[in-house]
Structures are given as C-alpha cells and as structure tokens.
C-alpha cells in the first residue's frame, strides 16, 4: 500500500488476511463510509475482508488488542445506518465469504456463509422446487449476514415470518474472539437452553460476527395467484386490507403503493400501471391449488366491496414477476420524481392504515414536502418516503424532522419505530420513546452478555446524548445506487 495516512494497524490486519484484503487508503475507504442510509458518513480507520471464520476470529482478537471498535458489514444495503462506521473503527466486511456450504434437502436446511446474496439461496434451490422464504426488496444484492443482523423482513413475511423464523443456527465469532456454535446443528427443531440464535438475529451487529448461517428451506407452493387492484385513494385501499385480514384470509403478501409511488415506479420500470388512481394493492395468495383459487376469489370480493376501481390478475408468470419487480424497485424509482428521499419504517396496527396515512400526508404538507408511500400493508409496516431536494438548504433537515414525526405517530397508535430495517444509527434517538429506561437497561444486559466492552457496533440502536445531537452530513449517492443495481426497501 502506497497511500499516505494509512492506519498503523494496517500491517497487523494484513498479516492475518493479506494486504490485498485490507482497505486503508482514504480514497478506497470512501466506499465504506455509509450504507443505504446516505445522509451520514464516517470514514473507518480500516476495512478488512476476511475469508474464513478463523480469519474473522483473528481480526476480532486483534481489534480487541488494539482497542478498536468493530463494525460488521454485509453488502451495505441497510437503510438504518447499521453498518455506518464509528470513529477509529475497523469495518469487518463479509463480502468474500459467499459460499453456499451445504444444501441438505433431507433435513430442509442450507448452511451458508454470511456474504451469500439472499436471492442466491433460492437460485441454487429453485430447480428442485425449494426456496428460502424471507424476501427483502433488496434481495438481489443484500447478504444473509446483513439479513441476520437486521432480522430482515420483506413482502412475504406476512405469511412466512421474518429472518428469525428461518434461521435455525449460527456460527458466531463473539467480541472476545471465541468461535461459538449457536442453535441447531443440522435442522433439529429445538435446542437446549436460552434461545441465543433468536437474540443474535436482529442484534444489529452488536453481539459479534456471524460466519455461518443454517437457514430453513421451504418447498415452493403449488400455486401463487396475484391480484392487482386500484383505488380512488389510500382510504379505500386500507379498507380493503382490513376487510381481507378481518375475513380470516392469510395472504402471502399485501403491498400498497400510493399515487406518488405509482408515478415513480411507472417512470422507472416497465409496469403498465394506471397513473390516475389514488392507490394500488398488490396481493399474493399461495398454497394448495384449490385453496389458492378459492382464497383469491374471496379476496377479490372484499377488494370490490372496498371500492376498487379496477382489479386485474396477471395473465402469466412473466406479468406477475413484472408487477413484483415494480414493487421491489420502488425505492430506487424515487429518483425519477425527486432528487432525494428519506425513508422510514414505522409499524402500526393494520386497521389504522387509512388514518395514519392521512396524518403522514398532513405532516408532509405542513413541512412543504411530498411523501410517497409504498409498503407492506398486510402487517402495517409503513415505508413513508419523504421527498426533498438536498440542494435546497434546510430541506434535508426538514425531511428528517417529518420522518421523526411519522415515527411518533406510529408510536401514538401503539406501533413500533421499525418493522424490518432495524434501529441502527437512524432511529436510535426514537428507541427511547418506544421503550422505557428500564426496558433499554434490560436490553443492555442481553447485549453485554456478548460484548461487555460495548465495542461492537457502538453507538447503534441505543439512544445516547452524543448520538442524538449529531447532525447529518451532505447527501452523496451511494456507489450501488448510482450504478442502478440497488433496489431498496
């Protein structure tokens, strides 16, 4: 390495992983300054890219000896700043550990390394009729390690559950450098003792570094039927969701887009959705053929009763996939209608969707900002996208303020500040509004079980005065975003 101002720790880490797998020059470190939460940037001291569990463990031990904070990183697609570096930290990136180590159909599990792309598991299995269920919108670029850290969701977790419901066991390098097997070894359904696997999933990189994941794989359903319906406004669409859920129907997914989101998606993708509507729903029913047909027909009557303008069923798989591609590209599509956006991830009781969307619109209007909504309606997980122009002084701040007020609305309705993106850096200051000091102290007891020094991903999730006083940096598009490969949400 020839760059000036390279960390003195460079050689120590290079001795473990090789110099080509340590990033130390300021120019190269820029890539790692942020994740999908683009408004915050911190340059790490170093980035190391280990290739094995043993190398990860050695790096962790070294970081401990050097007293460096550790920030784990997958693909950097997270939206809450979970992989935002801390001052003086070493980022341990798992991108090189991307092997599917074992597929065991008889036990319905696959053992994968953390750098494996979510969708690659399904790609490896689908010819035989199996798949991995959790499907975050970024699934074509995000990694399983990141999914584990954030307990990622996705559209179909309405029926199938979140990452935590599909991870049976883990190999964890703990903050003291020990390599520990957690949970199931080969697909046995129950394990003895405390559910440490359930704790590590969703712990946002604060419990160590996961180097192997044992995931559940499922048989793909006999049939999937998709329903596409448009409505005059989000009120009728919200009512349709309530009617479907209230009728005891358990769809695989129900997604909603409002007019602004539709406009962006139509501009950015090949979907032929109408532009003169107030909202649309995209619903999947899956399962046994006879049942799916019946359930889809019933859902259709509820959608009609709620006042749908138009109801369509995709004529073939290609059209179905196109609709879903449109939905999953929604966040990236926002660039077509706004220079910048700030996304939130609040959850509300699903019966309140219509009411809460109106409150969100009012909050946006008051700040002079537009808010697009594209979200997991079936489980009340909102994704309001506050649109702003970062070149106009004060707008970014105003957008964040609106985002924060939206989270407060979610809490007022008895909800949560995050349904699937994680608390991270972004929402740490709001966690203290959702939980009491005693609740947070109890969570710290769990955290310090793994990391008594609180050196792993410090300054995430838990509110601190320093953190909550920070100001966002200037917006710069992230590399994956400008390359057009990241679909977020």
Site for another protein in 387-416 (CB under 8 A): 414-416
- Shortest separation between residue 391's beta carbon and another protein, angstroms: 33
Q: Binding to another protein by residue 95, rule CB under 8 A? A: no
Q: Binding to another protein by residue 195, rule CB under 8 A? A: yes
* Near another protein by CB under 8 A: residue from 156, 216, 455, 460: 216
Q: Where are the alpha helices (DSSP H) in 102-142?
A: 118-125
Q: Tokens 């594209």 correspond to what residue?
A: 374
User: Token pair for residue 438?
Assistant: 């005693």
Judged by beta carbon, residue 75 or residue 149, the one nearer another protein is 149
- Shortest separation between residue 327's beta carbon and another protein, angstroms: 17
Which stretch, 84-92, 201-209, 225-233, 326-334, contacts another protein (CB under 8 A)?
201-209
Judged by beta carbon, residue 201 or residue 261, the one nearer another protein is 201
Q: Where are the alpha helices (DSSP H) in 413-453?
A: 428-434, 437-450
- Sign of the Cα torsion 83, 177, 172, 100 reads positive
Q: In 3D, which of 324, 214, 300 has the Cα closest to residue 251? A: 300
* Near another protein by CB under 8 A: residue from 242, 319, 339, 370: 242
- Shortest separation between residue 171's beta carbon and another protein, angstroms: 10
Q: How far apart are CA 234 and CA 257, in angstroms?
A: 8
- Shortest separation between residue 278's beta carbon and another protein, angstroms: 22
- Shortest separation between residue 279's beta carbon and another protein, angstroms: 20
At residue 452's C-alpha, the angle toward residues 449 and 455, to 5°, is 120
How many chain residues bind another protein (CB under 8 A)? 100
Judged by beta carbon, residue 420 or residue 459, the one nearer another protein is 420
User: Token pair for residue 192?
Assistant: 């003895």
Strand order in 109-112's β-sheet?
100-104, 109-112, 209-216, 167-173, 179-183
Q: Binding to another protein by residue 194, rule CB under 8 A? A: yes
Q: Binding to another protein by residue 106, rule CB under 8 A? A: yes
Q: Tokens 């994704």 correspond to what residue?
A: 383
Strand order in 90-93's β-sheet?
22-23, 46-48, 90-93, 70-73
Q: Segment 260-279, which members bind another protein (CB under 8 A)?
A: none
Q: Binding to another protein by residue 353, rule CB under 8 A? A: no
Judged by beta carbon, residue 56 or residue 417, the one nearer another protein is 417
The total of other beta-carbon atoms located within 10 Å of residue 406's CB is 24
Do β-strands 70-73 and 90-93 pair in parallel, antiparallel, or remain unpaired?
Answer: parallel
Q: Binding to another protein by residue 165, rule CB under 8 A? A: yes
Q: Which residues pair with 312 in a beta bridge?
A: 228
Q: Binding to another protein by residue 224, rule CB under 8 A? A: no
Q: Binding to another protein by residue 201, rule CB under 8 A? A: yes
User: Token pair for residue 19?
Assistant: 């110099």
* Near another protein by CB under 8 A: residue from 115, 380, 384, 403: 380
Element (H, E) at 319: helix 317-328
User: Token pair for residue 466?
Assistant: 């320093």
Q: Binding to another protein by residue 153, rule CB under 8 A? A: yes
CA distances from 45 to 21, 73, 78, 85, 170 (A): 14, 14, 21, 9, 28
Q: Segment 10-39, which members bind another protein (CB under 8 A)?
A: none
Q: How far apart are CA 43 and CA 90, in angstroms?
A: 10
User: Token pair for residue 151?
Assistant: 């307990």
Q: Binding to another protein by residue 446, rule CB under 8 A? A: yes
Q: Where are the alpha helices (DSSP H) in 30-77?
A: 53-66
- Shortest separation between residue 187's beta carbon and another protein, angstroms: 4
Write each residue from 416 to 435 as x if it is in contact with another protein (CB under 8 A), else as -, in one continuous string.
xxxxxxxx---x---x--xx
Write each residue from 122 to 151 as x if it is in contact with another protein (CB under 8 A), else as -, in one continuous string.
-------xx-------------------xx
Judged by beta carbon, residue 44 or residue 346, the one nearer another protein is 346
Which stretch, 25-33, 67-75, 115-123, 346-354, contacts another protein (CB under 8 A)?
346-354
Q: Segment 286-315, which members bind another protein (CB under 8 A)?
A: 287-295
């Amino acid at each position: 390495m020839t760059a000036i101002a390279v960390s003195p720790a460079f050689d120590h880490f290079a001795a473990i992983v090789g110099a080509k797998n340590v990033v130390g020059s300021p120019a190269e470190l820029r890539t790692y300054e942020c994740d999908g939460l683009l408004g915050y940037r911190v340059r790490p001291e170093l980035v190391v890219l280990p290739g094995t569990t043993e190398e990860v463990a050695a790096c962790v031990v070294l970081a401990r000896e050097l007293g460096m904070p550790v920030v784990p990183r997958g693909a950097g697609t997270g939206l809450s700043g979970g992989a935002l570096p801390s001052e003086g930290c070493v980022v341990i990136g798992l991108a090189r550990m991307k092997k599917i180590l074992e597929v065991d159909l008889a036990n319905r599990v696959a053992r994968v390394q953390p750098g494996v792309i979510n969708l690659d598991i399904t790609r490896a299995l689908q010819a035989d009729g199996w798949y991995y269920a959790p499907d975050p919108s970024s699934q074509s670029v995000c990694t399983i390690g990141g999914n584990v850290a954030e307990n990622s969701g996705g559209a179909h977790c309405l029926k199938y559950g979140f990452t935590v419901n599909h991870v049976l066991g883990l190999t964890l390098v703990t903050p003291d450098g020990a390599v520990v097997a957690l949970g199931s070894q080969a697909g046995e359904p129950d394990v003895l003792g405390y559910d440490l696997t359930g704790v590590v999933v969703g712990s946002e990189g604060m419990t160590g570094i996961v180097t192997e994941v044992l995931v559940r794989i499922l048989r793909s359903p006999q049939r999937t039927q998709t329903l596409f319906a448009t409505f005059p406004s989000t009120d009728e669409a919200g009512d349709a969701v309530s009617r479907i859920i209230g009728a005891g129907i358990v769809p695989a997914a129900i997604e909603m887009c409002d007019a602004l989101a539709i406009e962006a998606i139509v501009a950015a993708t090949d979907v032929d959705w109408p532009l003169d509507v107030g909202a649309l729903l995209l619903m999947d029913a899956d399962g046994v053929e006879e049942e799916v047909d019946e359930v889809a027909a019933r859902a259709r009557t509820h959608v009609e009763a709620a006042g749908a303008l138009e109801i369509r069923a995709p004529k073939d798989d290609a059209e179905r996939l196109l609709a879903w591609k449109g939905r999953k590209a929604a966040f990236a599509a926002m660039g077509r209608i706004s220079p910048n956006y700030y996304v939130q991830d609040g959850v509300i009781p699903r019966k309140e969707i219509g009411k809460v969307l109106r409150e969100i619109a009012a909050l946006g209007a008051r700040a002079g900002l537009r808010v697009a909504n594209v979200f997991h309606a079936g489980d009340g997980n909102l994704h309001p996208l506050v649109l702003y122009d970062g070149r106009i002084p004060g707008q970014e701040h105003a957008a964040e303020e609106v985002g924060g007020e939206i989270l407060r609305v979610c809490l007022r309705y008895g909800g949560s500040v995050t349904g699937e993106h994680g608390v991270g850096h972004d929402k740490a200051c709001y966690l203290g509004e959702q939980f009491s000091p005693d609740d947070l102290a109890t969570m710290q007891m769990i955290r310090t079980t793994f990391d008594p020094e609180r050196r792993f991903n410090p300054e995430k999730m838990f509110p601190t005065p320093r953190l909550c006083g920070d100001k966002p940096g200037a917006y710069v598009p992230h590399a994956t975003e400008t390359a057009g490969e990241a679909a977020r949400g």
